Amino acid sequence: MFAVSIILSSMRVLIRNGTVVNATGRQQADVLVEDRRVAAVGPAIPGPADRVIDATGRLVFPGGVDVHTHLDMPLGAIRTSDDFGTGTVAAACGGTTTVVDYAVQSRGHSLREALDEWMARAAGHAAIDFGFHVCIADLRPEVEAEIADMVAAGVPSFKLFMAYPGRMMLDDGEIFRVLRRTAACGGLVCLHAENGTVIDLLVREAVRAGHTAPGYHATTRPAALEAEAVHRGIALARLAGAPLYVVHLSSAEALAEVAAARGRGDRVIGETCPQYLLLAAAATPDAEDARTAARTVISPPLRGRASQNALWAGLARGDVQVVATDHCPFFLDQKAVGHADFSTIPNGAPGIEHRMALLYDAGVASGRLSAERFVEVVSAAPARTFGLYPRKGVVAVGADADLVVFDPSGETRVSAATHHMRVDYNLYEGRTLAGAVETVMARGGVIVERGRFVGPAGGGRFLARAPFIPEP
């Protein structure tokens, strides 16, 4: 397998007659790939080539960069259903050629141990290039001192939780300490912003009152408690002189806090996910049967139509910079443990495969986003924010040849029966999306053809990422 990948990757490949779309503009151009990199972009590049891909009528995008995934992640006695093998093949089939996954520190252990553990899970298994953030769950002084070591090791981003008290939550003083450290060493805090203490109180009260159906997950995590946490996180970051990345914005209220901070000139970056743009919570907590409702038990929860519209507007306007997936899949039977008590349902849902197709369909094809803005939010901005640009996130000479040939007149049918994710449901079951990923190249090798993964297993490499550089 390895020998095959070498041969594929060192080929000279010419993508002819496509429309190359970068975040900054588009052009009719050929793309020449040599030695795993983009060697030329321009009109009528002469051959010969080992392989010519006809991209007439097609768009050529830089490969997608998904900076929020949870592959092979333990959660109590279970783990997410996709490992780095299955999850990255699914990502690739959807046009994503880079993932940045969250390595989680266990209490009593070091950040280095978390990184080593996740590296062992990914290396030799991931089909596409991968990097890591580290989740800090236990901020002892020696752990605080490790932050600079992680930045130096190419892991310059740190997830902190304001939710899940007793498991993952850090208190405000601890969050402030990490923000101060990252500000000093080029790190970036990725914040899960929900007020966990109040949410836990509401959850306990709901369960005591007999409100145990999965639909109560959403009602016990109201948008006000997301907005409050975003506001608090921004205030702490400002005081620490640190940039801040807010993961998975779900509500209009939380987005308003990010927009206000950006309006003041704060270095705050907002991420959302397709599920918050495209799906709404059920009208009432008992509206759906438990099995259906358990599928969308995610945190923060799905909101209403007004939040969807606000997030789309934020994405178009630039107050939301990144669309990632928060891919965190569990089998329906694993979700079923909480049918009689929503507080025991593992939080998370699958999404790594269809991010690009969903955003293209609902964003570009329906006129909400330009194709350039689409490339910005699914590829260029995540690459820049997380120290991968211009190696990733752009079709330009010298960049890694991670390329997507996309057919805007094709269509993508979404179903658990045909998707590549190792999970038995899909949040978008039965939808037909405008546009289709046709061919995907990763560092110069063709890994997806006509929706089929044809690349070598485990061909992805660890990406040591650069420290955070604020935009001018």
Which residues of this protein are in contact with Zn ion, per CB under 5 A? 326
Task: Tell me the C-alpha distance between 94 and 76, whole Å.
Answer: 30
**For residue 41, which of 25, 50, 57 has the smallest C-alpha distance?**
25
* Residue whose CB is less far from Zn ion, 30 or 326: 326
Instruction: Answer for the pair 193, 254: CB distance below 8 angstroms, yes or no.
Output: yes
* Residue whose CB is less far from Zn ion, 14 or 247: 247
CB of 167 to Zn ion, least distance (A): 14
Task: Tell me the C-alpha distance between 235 and 315, whole Å.
Answer: 23
CB of 66 to Zn ion, least distance (A): 11
Task: Tell me the C-alpha distance between 370 and 376, whole Å.
Answer: 10
* Residue whose CB is less far from Zn ion, 326 or 361: 326
Task: Tell me the C-alpha distance between 113 and 111, whole Å.
Answer: 5
Distances (CA, A) of 189 to 122, 171, 319, 343: 23, 14, 18, 27
* Residue whose CB is less far from Zn ion, 349 or 375: 349
Give residue for tokens 């983009």: 38
Whether omega before 165 lies within 30 degrees of 0, making that bond cis, reads: no
* Residue whose CB is less far from Zn ion, 326 or 376: 326
CB of 255 to Zn ion, least distance (A): 18
CB of 17 to Zn ion, least distance (A): 40
Crossing angle, helix 141-152 and helix 111-122, to 10 degrees? 40
* Residue whose CB is less far from Zn ion, 194 or 326: 326
Give the residue closest to Zn ion by C-beta: 326
CB of 8 to Zn ion, least distance (A): 33
Instruction: Answer for the pair 165, 192: CB distance below 8 angstroms, yes or no.
Output: no
Instruction: Answer for the pair 28, 43: CB distance below 8 angstroms, yes or no.
Output: yes
Distances (CA, A) of 9 to 36, 46, 102, 313, 447: 6, 20, 28, 40, 10
* Residue whose CB is less far from Zn ion, 19 or 347: 347
Please give the structure tokens belonging to residue 175.
């969050």
CB of 190 to Zn ion, least distance (A): 9
CB of 182 to Zn ion, least distance (A): 19
* Residue whose CB is less far from Zn ion, 118 or 406: 118
CB of 135 to Zn ion, least distance (A): 9
* Cα-based angle 229, 232, 238 (whole degrees, multiple of 5): 140
Please give the structure tokens belonging to residue 98.
């880079």
Pairing status of strand 432-442 against strand 445-449: antiparallel
* Residue whose CB is less far from Zn ion, 349 or 399: 349
Please give the structure tokens belonging to residue 425.
């449901």
CB of 175 to Zn ion, least distance (A): 17
How many Cα atoms occupy the beta-carbon half-sphere of 281 within 13 Å? 26
